[in-house]
């Protein structure tokens, strides 16, 4: 059928050309009336004539010759015996032939069909043109209320493709057993949950887990988004819900997956100005359909959301979504398993450790980890490498966290020193404060909106933070701003993101966690949301005097952390200067290099085995050498090879002697 539709425009054009040709042919015929025909009969010689006898008239067509020129003619005259005999005699006298047609021979139908055929083809052409406008007919009125659920009958996803959520798999294994053999549940008098609600942050694999359940059970998988139900036309969403459950019942056993159910399942009657009537009608129909589902009918509703706090209580009660499965961010073991799944088709270098990569990515979801490996593969192709190297994955982690590096953005010399000391301040706090996170990487290369950043990882996976750890986080965030105050005597706007984070932590300590002198009292509702109508007209739960005390406690926590940060940086000023100089020269320092700076005063470990000599044409990596102070301000090695100079820091007490003393003191401590 589609092949013929492709030829329809060609057929239409041919029909138009044929009609125009027939019209032009008919235009050369001499149409005469009865009087003109009588006059022409006196002067012309008839060659032939065809007489079509109708009820009241005679239709005469033929040719005649006048002045040696042949001409076609047609004329309609009254149907009488005298006219019929006259026309016949006139033609025969001129030597022409006369043909009389039978009125019942069917020529009338041929004439009618000849006239209607072009009109019919034109009508068919425009019908298909309008029918296929709007993307193949998806916007037809009679299909508007149909469900938009997409059906997969042969799902290839299995549990082996889902990693990092072993406990969640155990929660849904009964669903697989039920869909495979529901009789054993019926015999025991048990009924499977009608609905399963999967809750968790974005990218943790909720959709993938639901698809894996359908794949393991080998049943059809209906997937639809919550926003597909809601339309601007009244009753459309409810109609689509009815159609979806009707279609699912015909394909039972099956799984119906509703992604982002909060789009249709929000609380009814909430929000400023009332609720959305169409959305609430859709939700009511969904509740009714789930109540109407009989036990063990072979349909399992699986929904996913990252906002369970906004769902309607009627949707969450037993008998509808009976079971809630929380899909959390993976731990280090789960991240390693996820990396192994996504690394199946990746060409990784033999030296790459997925376990080490998993330890470097705390807080990453499964989607983030897949993106890291994909970005690493893209960088390897861009660099024309045969395998994905560790440098590619390091850059991929930075790109996922902060965005691509802006290497074309150039600092002024003063700004570069400022950023170097800012990031060095964060690093020193992380090294010297016990409860602070471990510094993994420091760079002053701009990424995203940040002029530089510290990659700091916790020493171990935590499910909750102690007060001392929150204090250490605030102190670490104040390290950059405090370093600017200590070295330059002024502050910049580069710490705006740090201030935002530490303020949020301090407020939560006082208002939510009860970690202040105000005691274990919560002065904030963490679930309050103006768009749900929960606290739009509701005032605060505490007086103005308590609000003043809260502000005082928040300020006290931040001031104490600021004092601690200044003390640590003052006591370790030499290490701060050393890391800042190294950052200024090399722009990026790893955890190993920072540790070497703290322990040995240089980027490399002097006790490490010597590396093989590089080839003559291979450039050597320049190391920071502060052992000699040349008169011209440049360091030169014994073979007189030039090394890049270190500009003087525009800060007091910053000279080569202080740096030499710093290295000597650090060596004595070791």
Pairing type for strands 150-152 and 69-78 reads unpaired
Angle at 363 between CA 357 and CA 366, to 5 degrees: 70
Nearest-angstrom CA–CA distance, 470 and 179:
47
Q: Which residues are annotated as part of the binding site for ATP? A: 200-207
Q: Which residues are annotated as part of the binding site for Zn(2+)? A: 422, 426, 498
Q: Which residues of 278-296 are buried (b: 16+ CB within 10 A; e: fewer)?
A: bbbbbbbbbbebbeebeeb
Question: Which residues, in sequence order, are bridge partners of residue 221?
Answer: 152, 255
Pairing type for strands 69-78 and 438-443 reads unpaired
SS3 101: strand
- Count of CB atoms within 10 A of residue 90's CB? 18
Ramachandran area for residue 398 (φ above 0: left; ψ -120 to 50: alpha; else beta): alpha
Q: From edge to edge, which strands make up the β-sheet containing 57-66?
A: 30-32, 69-78, 57-66, 45-53, 97-101
Residue partners of 610: CB distance under 8 A and separation at least 6 = none
Q: Which residues are annotated as part of the binding site? A: 200-207, 422, 426, 498
Nearest-angstrom CA–CA distance, 182 and 376:
46
In the block, which residue shows the tokens 């969904």? 286
Q: For residues 168 and 337, is the Cβ–Cβ distance under 8 A?
A: no
Ramachandran area for residue 296 (φ above 0: left; ψ -120 to 50: alpha; else beta): left
Residue partners of 283: CB distance under 8 A and separation at least 6 = 264, 265, 266, 268, 312, 315
DSSP 339-368: HHHHTTT--B-TT--HHHHHHT-TT--HHH
Dihedral sign from CA coordinates of 177, 178, 183, 186: positive
Query: What is the H or E stretch that residue 400 is in?
Result: helix 390-402
SS3 29: coil
Q: From edge to edge, which strands make up the β-sheet containing 195-199?
A: 150-152, 221-225, 254-259, 299-305, 195-199, 321-326
Q: In the annotation, is 423 catalytic?
A: yes
Q: For residues 79 and 55, is the Cβ–Cβ distance under 8 A?
A: yes
SS3 content of the chain, % helix, strand, coil (to 5): 50, 15, 35
Nearest-angstrom CA–CA distance, 503 and 626:
40
Catalytic residue, from 423, 484, 553, 593: name it: 423
Burial class, 523, CB count within 10 angstroms (exposed 0-12 / middle 13-18 / buried 19+): middle
Q: For residues 380 and 389, is the Cβ–Cβ distance under 8 A?
A: yes
> Among all residues, which ones are annotated catalytic?
423
């Amino acid at each position: 059928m589609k092949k013929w539709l492709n030829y329809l425009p060609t057929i239409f054009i041919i029909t138009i050309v044929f009609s125009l040709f027939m019209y032009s042919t008919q235009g050369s015929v001499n149409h005469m009336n009865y009087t003109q025909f009588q006059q022409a009969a006196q002067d012309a010689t008839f060659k032939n004539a065809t007489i079509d006898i109708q009820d009241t008239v005679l239709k005469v067509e033929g040719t005649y010759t006048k002045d040696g020129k042949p001409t076609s003619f047609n004329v309609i005259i009254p149907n009488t015996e005298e006219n019929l005999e006259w026309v016949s005699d006139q033609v025969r006298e001129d030597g022409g032939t006369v043909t009389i047609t039978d009125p019942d021979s069917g020529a009338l139908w041929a004439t009618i069909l000849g006239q209607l055929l072009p009109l019919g083809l034109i009508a068919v052409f425009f019908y298909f043109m309008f029918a296929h406008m709007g993307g193949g007919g998806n916007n037809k009125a009679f299909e508007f209320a149909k469900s938009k659920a997409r059906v997969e009958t042969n799902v290839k996803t299995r549990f082996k493709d889902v990693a990092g959520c072993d406990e969640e798999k155990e929660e849904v294994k009964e669903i697989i057993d039920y869909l495979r053999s529901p009789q054993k549940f019926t015999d025991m008098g048990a009924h499977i949950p009608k609905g399963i609600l999967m809750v968790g942050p974005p990218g943790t694999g909720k959709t993938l887990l639901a698809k894996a359940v359908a794949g393991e059970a080998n049943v059809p998988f209906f997937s639809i988004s919550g926003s597909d139900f809601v339309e601007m036309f009244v009753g459309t969403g409810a109609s689509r819900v009815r159609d979806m459950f009707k279609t699912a019942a015909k394909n039972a056993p099956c799984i119906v997956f509703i992604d982002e159910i909060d789009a249709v399942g929000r609380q009814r009657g909430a929000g400023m100005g009332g609720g959305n009537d169409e959305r609430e009608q859709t939700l009511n129909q969904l509740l009714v359909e789930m109540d109407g589902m009989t036990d063990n009918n072979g349909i399992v509703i699986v929904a996913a959301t990252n906002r369970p706090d906004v769902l309607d209580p009627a949707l969450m009660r037993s008998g509808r979504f009976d079971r809630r499965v929380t899909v959390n961010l993976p731990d280090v073991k789960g991240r390693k398993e996820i990396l192994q799944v996504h690394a199946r088709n990746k060409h990784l270098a033999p030296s790459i450790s997925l376990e080490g990569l998993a330890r470097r990515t705390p807080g990453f979801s499964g989607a983030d980890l897949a993106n890291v490996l994909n970005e690493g593969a893209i960088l390897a192709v861009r660099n024309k490498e045969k395998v994905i190297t560790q440098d590619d994955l390091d850059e991929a982690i930075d790109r996922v966290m902060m965005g691509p590096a802006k290497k074309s953005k150039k600092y002024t010399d003063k700004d570069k020193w400022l950023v170097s000391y800012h990031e060095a301040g964060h690093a020193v706090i992380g090294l010297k404060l016990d409860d602070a996170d471990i510094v993994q990487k420091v760079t002053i290369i701009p990424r995203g909106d940040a002029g530089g950043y510290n990659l700091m990882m916790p020493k171990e996976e935590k499910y909750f933070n102690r007060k001392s750890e929150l204090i250490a986080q605030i102190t670490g965030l104040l390290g950059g701003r405090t370093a600017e105050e200590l070295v330059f005597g002024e502050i910049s706007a580069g710490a705006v993101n740090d201030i935002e984070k530490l303020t949020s932590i301090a407020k939560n300590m006082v208002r939510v966690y009860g970690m202040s002198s105000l005691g274990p009292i919560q002065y904030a509702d963490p679930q309050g949301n103006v768009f749900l109508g929960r606290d739009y007209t509701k005032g605060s739960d505490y007086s103005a005097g308590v609000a003043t005390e809260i502000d005082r406690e928040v300020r006290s926590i931040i001031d104490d952390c600021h004092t601690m940060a200044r003390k640590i940086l003052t006591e370790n000023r030499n290490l701060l200067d050393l890391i800042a100089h190294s950052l200024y020269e090399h722009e990026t320092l790893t955890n190993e290099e920072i540790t070497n700076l703290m322990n040995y005063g240089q980027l490399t470990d002097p006790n490490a085995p010597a590396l093989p000599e590089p080839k003559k044409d291979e450039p050597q990596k320049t190391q920071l050498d502060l052992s000699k102070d040349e008169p011209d301000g440049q360091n030169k090695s014994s073979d007189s090879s030039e090394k890049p100079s270190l500009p003087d820091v525009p800060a007091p007490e910053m000279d080569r002697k202080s740096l030499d003393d710093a290295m000597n003191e650090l060596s004595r401590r070791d």
